[in-house]
Amino acid sequence: MIELNGSLSLDDVVEVACNGEQVTLAADAATAMEETRRVVESVIETNEKQVYGLNTGFGKLQDVAISRENLERLQENIIRSHAAAVGDPAPTPVVRAAMLSRANTLAAGRSGVRPALVEQFLDLLNSNIHPLVPLEGSTDDLGANGHFGRVLLGEGRVEYQHEEMDAAEAFADAGLEPLSLAPKEGLSTLSGTPIMTGLIAIALDELERLLTAADAVAALTFSLIGNCPETFAERVVAERPQEGHQTAAQNVRRLLSDDVGIESMEQDPLSLRLIPQLHGTTRMQLENARNVVETELESVTDNPLVYPDGELVSCGNFNGQPLAESADQLARSLTKLAEASDQRTHKLLHSDNVPAPFLADEPGLESGLMIAQYTATGLVNESRLLDSAGDHSVIVSGGQEDVHSMGTIAARNLHTVMENVALVIAIELLTAVQFASLADDPPLSERLTALVDVVSEDVPLPNGDVHLHDKIEAIAELLRDGTIQSVIDAEE
């Protein structure tokens, strides 16, 4: 059981989002929420000042005063009007991560909302009622947030017990009641960065496994066609002590056989020689994104903020620029890693010691793995177009909202790039395993031999020209689900 109090770890998010861990609101957090809720209720009662989103309209309509009798309706209206995103629903783990992130921000006690709002989020999570949240069309998170906001009211569509249904039907089955929003609670549900935080958090969990697997695949390729393993030597990487470089070099070094390479000054192509630098830099960007997300999980991303001393402060904490830029940088670095993987695949198909052109059984009559490399190249080029969402902005709401992070787009793009990179590395692994199967006594360590065996057993190698789609997808899943990492991490 995880207690929410405004502070979450990335591991907490993964446990709830992916493993179904239950969540409750900490008692001290509920007390803090009640304290700032009294501030909001005092503003409503005295009716002496206008506070954005509490008793005014939104965006360009902020100058429109809202009467006391319409304050609750205002909150329901903003939820309904903002549920305007389009496209396919987000994956369930992303939705769960987003709901948890939003509930946690509200539990910090700086939004002026009731504990009942957080408890409604947690009831949905604990009952496995998951709003269907489309992700396209959000400049920050507003549009997407509106869709899970509707479900708090018992409206919209959800996924429940592996079926799509109306929220009202799921509520009835789970014994839940729709929530009536109090003043400010609709705005606080919509503000902030829960969707992009959830998207990136789920990506980081998968990328930890993918990058370790990428090091192993690169080590396998190097064992087959590399010449100078000194590029991974501890003394070499110590001369440039970038932490990520050292980790990547160590991962490769522990997998190589003593028989790999030759003692010469022959320089390998850069896609082989720069494995520590390219893979290591991606690890550094991964760590940067992790730091940004973990900070976000301990932040209050709302506007306006409410303090126990009675102050309500307008701010920009809802903006997702830190997340957008970290997602873009990580996507850019992953794409560079994929470029190198694609080039290593090319070298496996065309090296001086390749067992057969394109690793075909009967070259000419058969094309072997020729077109698999085309696929990798296409995926790399697609990824190059997906790493700069946060560089752009738009002007909306009559010019009142004239800068946007595009963080949801950047986070969605990161997922697309991650999937592309997994497929590119899968193609390298397929090619390397096929190379090893055709080569005469390849110099593989015990761990790399085990890697080849696991792939060969799970995904039978091509025998003649075959349909490669299913093999590539199956190997990519071995990379994603930790199978490859577990082989590499196993005790010798």
128 phi, psi to nearest 5 deg: 60, 40
**What is the pLDDT, as a whole number, of residue 275?**
98
Long-range interactions of 365-369: CB distance < 8 A, separation 24+: 366/464, 366/465, 367/465, 368/462, 368/465, 369/427, 369/430, 369/431, 369/434, 369/462, 369/468
pLDDT exceeds cutoff 90 at 159: yes
pLDDT surpassing 90 at residue 139: no
Question: What's the CA gap between 272 and 263, in Å, rounded?
Answer: 16
Q: What is the pLDDT of residues 43-54, one digit of tens each?
A: 999 988 898 888
pLDDT band at residue 261 using 50, 70 and 90 as cut-offs: low
| CATH architecture label of 200-310+319-489 | Up-down Bundle (1.20)
Domain range list for the chain: 2-191, 200-310+319-489
- Determine the pLDDT at residue 370: 86
Lowest pLDDT segment from 178-182, 263-267, 279-283? 263-267
User: Over 60: is that where the pLDDT of 492 sits?
Assistant: no
Locate all alpha helices (DSSP H) within 83-166, ordered by sequence.
92-107, 115-126, 142-152
Q: Note the pLDDT of residue 140.
A: 78
User: For residue 399, is pLDDT > 70?
Assistant: no
The residues annotated with a catalytic role in the active site are 52
Average pLDDT of the residues in 355-383: 89
Beta bridge partners of 56: 65
DSSP symbol at 368: T
CB 105 within 8 A of CB 300: yes
Spacing of C-alpha 132 from chain mean position: 18
> pLDDT tens-digit profile of 282-307?
999 999 999 999 999 999 999 999 99
And the tokens for 340? 């190198």
Residue 257 burial by Cβ neighbours in a 10 Å radius (0-12, 13-18, 19+): middle
Considering the entire predicted model, what is its pTM? Answer: 0.94
- For residue 70 the two structure tokens come to 């319409």
Q: How many CB atoms lie within 10 A of CB 223?
A: 25
Cα distance between the two ends of the chain: 36
In the Cβ-directed half-sphere of 63, how many Cα atoms lie within 13 Å?
4
Is the pLDDT higher at 58 or at 156? 156
| CA nearest neighbour of 196 among 105, 309, 315 | 105
Helix, strand, coil shares of the chain, percent, nearest 5, are 60, 5, 35
pLDDT score of 58 more than 90: no
Which tokens hold the place of 111?
A: 């939004």
Output the CATH code of domain 2-191.
1.10.275.10
